[in-house]
Amino acid sequence: MSKGLTWRFGLVLLFLVLSFLYLTPTLVSTLPSWWKGLLPKDRIHLGLDLQGGTHLVLDVEIQKAVEGALDLIATDLEDSLTAKTLRFKKVGRSGPDRVQLTFYDRGTAETVQKMVKEKYPTLELIPPYDEGGFVSMQLRMTDKEAQERKDRAVAQALETIRNRIDQFGVSEPVITREGLTHIVVQLPGIKDPKRAIELIGRTARLEFKLVDEAVNPATATPGTIPEDSEILVEKKTDPTTGAVTEIPLVLKKKAMITGDLLTNAQVRIDSQFNQPYVAIEFNSTGARLFDQVTAASVGKRFAIVLDNTIYSAPVIRERISGGSAQISGSFTEKEASDLAIVLRAGSLPAPVKIIQNVTVGPSLGKDSIHKGLIAGAVGVALVVVFMVLYYKLAGLVANYGMVLNILFLMGSLAALGATLTLPGIAAIVLLIGMSVDSNVLIFERIREELRLGKTAASALDAGYDKAFLTIMDSHVTTLITGAVLFQFGTGPVKGFAVSLCLGITINLFTSLVATKAVFDLFLRKGHVKRLSV
């Protein structure tokens, strides 16, 4: 065998071995014990349409992100005024786009006006004005900055949801932005969609607030408590009966520490009561604040609040240094695990609302696979028969290239960890046709050369050479189309694009290299003088 034939058949053999190696975990239900180390273990991932799962469309309430930013500005201003011992009546958000500051006298208002201009130069300042015997001024968020915050909220929500799902352990999820406020989430093969939906949609706003001991929660109503306090509920679940008891508590509205300062959250088991709890750790800023707050609040109750629900409200017995704390409650292990996930992944910048929830059953997926395989098998069979009848022995070579195409493509999907979808199967069937189409172009060129009286070897070389540019042009333009679909498509469209791009690249190799090697072997080494084409 000549050097040229050796490397060509060597490449084909190498790709065949690699394809079977990567396809083994998919084809074999249980891998042997020695199949470990560097050998591949991952199966071909199936998309939502093939193995079932959940398809969600979420709407991000972007206005809440703007209001949340204004609330933080109001809290920051309140802290700054208190630190500088400047007297004020009230600081808080007023309407959807502004913060209002109310003072007892104009002198203080004008002093604060200068400070606010320096602190928040991007906000529009409405100068002090008289209102009901007091002096007020407002900070307004411009339309441009509000829109930037809204866009940032959707992008941040997308990343937060992706982090939560990654930690939840869903294989090959699809999480993409759609339009201005929508996020599409596809979770293939998920076994507990309800739990996943709760995990995705939880805002996870963690706050530590002091309990207002001056107010009796049993008799408190929203109209009888101070303006800077609020009534929240602590839920306790009886581990034996599962009964939930709601205990109202009056808390200070101002959060002493928030979950933005967390660096880690892990599930632990209480050795005394054998109950799971969530151990949390703060960053350096959070550790310092936690140390200061607990030092100043010994003997007081400190409520741990997640999404306006009190998880626990223990009494601070002593100063807590080191930046660690724990959230305990009547958790199951799943509840504690989910809480740890959302705390690690971070809170959503704005609430999300599920506007579409479609569950695809696995039976539909199996039916799709069955029909797809039948379509593929019928397509292959028809092509094989046609090529043999029309192109005789050369048709067998084309069929050999088509089989290599399918094996190499499936092996590539397994090696790259790509997701096979129903449109992906459609792309494979399409590529069977493209594979044969390349060989048809070559064979027709060879026939033309043979009619001109050339020898079999010369006609073969001329046929491949003259068809080369035509095949390359058609494949490159289709590859560009596939790349655009992959870049901008979502879900099934992306699955189609992956199979298409891989198949086109592989088809170039099989049609121009692998099949030519077979012809060369018989013509040059098998002493065949005539082509059956």
HEC states along 246-277? EEEEEEECCCCEEHHHEEEEEEEECCCCCCEE
Q: Where are the beta strands (DSSP E) in 253-394?
A: 257-258, 262-269, 276-282, 302-306, 309-312, 324-327, 352-360
> Per-residue pLDDT averaged across 486-504, rounded?
80
Question: Which residue from 196, 165, 172, 174 is spatially nearest to 42, judged by alpha carbons?
Answer: 172
> Per-residue pLDDT averaged across 4-25, rounded?
87
pLDDT above 90: percentage of residues in the chain: 9
| Phi-psi group of 417: left, alpha or beta (phi > 0 → left; psi -120 to 50 → alpha; rest → beta) | left
- Check residue 337 and give its pLDDT: 83
Instruction: Look at residue 183 and tell me if it is in a domain.
Output: no
415 and 519 housed in the same domain: yes
Q: Please state whether beta strands 134-140 and 124-131 pair in parallel, antiparallel, or not at all (unpaired).
A: antiparallel
Instruction: Look at residue 169 and tell me if it is in a domain.
Output: no
Q: What is the rounded distance in angstroms from the CA atom of residue 43 to the CA atom of residue 414? A: 6
Helix (H, G, I), strand (E, B) or coil at 216: coil
- Check residue 529 and give its pLDDT: 65
AA letter at 334: K
CA torsion sign for 142, 148, 154, 156 is: negative
352 and 211 housed in the same domain: yes
Phi and psi angles of residue 60, each rounded to the nearest 5 degrees, phi first: -85, 125
349 and 414 housed in the same domain: no
Instruction: Look at residue 484 and tell me if it is in a domain.
Output: yes
Residue 366, token pair as written in the block? 């199996």
Question: Which residue from 200, 488, 532 is spatially nearest to 348, judged by alpha carbons?
Answer: 200
Q: What is the rounded distance in angstroms from the CA atom of residue 379 to the CA atom of residue 165? A: 38
Give percent helix, percent strand, percent coil of the chain, each to the nearest 5. Answer: 55, 20, 25
- Check residue 100 and give its pLDDT: 92
Residue reference for tokens 């600081």: 91
Instruction: Look at residue 196 and tell me if it is in a domain.
Output: no
314 and 377 housed in the same domain: no
Q: Which of 306, 327, 358 is the last residue of a domain?
A: 358
Q: Please state whether beta strands 98-103 and 229-237 pair in parallel, antiparallel, or not at all (unpaired).
A: unpaired
> Per-residue pLDDT averaged across 322-328, rounded?
80
As a whole number, the mean pLDDT across the chain is: 83
Instruction: Look at residue 189 and tell me if it is in a domain.
Output: no
Instruction: List the CATH number of the domain containing 106.
Output: 3.10.28
The helix (H) or strand (E) run that includes residue 118 is helix 106-119
- Check residue 1 and give its pLDDT: 46
337-350 residue pLDDT tens:
877 877 777 777 78
202-258 residue pLDDT tens:
777 778 899 998 888 888 888 889 888 999 998 777 767 767 788 899 998 888 887
Q: What is the rounded distance in angstroms from the CA atom of residue 495 to the CA atom of residue 513? A: 27
User: pTM for the whole thing?
Assistant: 0.61
- Check residue 101 and give its pLDDT: 92
Instruction: List the CATH number of the domain containing 341.
Output: 3.30.1360.200
CA torsion sign for 77, 78, 84, 87 is: positive
Q: Which of 145, 164, 193 is the last residue of a domain?
A: 145
Give residue 172's pLDDT band: very low, low, confident or very high (50, 70, 90). low
449 and 495 housed in the same domain: yes
CA distances from 236 to 107, 197, 246, 274, 311 (A): 50, 23, 6, 17, 8
> Per-residue pLDDT averaged across 479-497, rounded?
81
Query: Total domain count for the chain?
Result: 3
133 and 245 housed in the same domain: no
pLDDT above 70: percentage of residues in the chain: 93
CA torsion sign for 251, 252, 258, 264 is: negative
281 and 420 housed in the same domain: no
37 and 70 housed in the same domain: no
24-79 residue pLDDT tens:
888 877 777 777 666 777 777 777 777 778 888 999 988 888 888 888 788 788 87
Give residue 137's pLDDT band: very low, low, confident or very high (50, 70, 90). very high
- Those residues whose C-beta lies under 8 Å from the C-beta of residue 123, and which sit 6 or more positions away, are 73, 116, 139, 140, 141, 142, 145
350 and 367 housed in the same domain: no
Max mean pLDDT range (30-44, 61-75, 126-140, 161-175)? 126-140
In which order are the strands placed within the sheet that holds 352-360? 174-178, 182-188, 53-60, 352-360
Range of the domain at 68: 63-145
Q: Which of 145, 160, 182 is the last residue of a domain?
A: 145
335 and 378 housed in the same domain: no
Higher pLDDT, 328 or 103: 103
Does 3 score more than 70 pLDDT?
no
387 and 351 housed in the same domain: no
Q: What is the rounded distance in angstroms from the CA atom of residue 251 to the CA atom of residue 312? A: 12
Instruction: Look at residue 166 and tell me if it is in a domain.
Output: no
- Those residues whose C-beta lies under 8 Å from the C-beta of residue 100, and which sit 6 or more positions away, are 90, 91, 92, 93, 94, 136, 137, 138
The helix (H) or strand (E) run that includes residue 158 is helix 143-168
272 and 215 housed in the same domain: yes
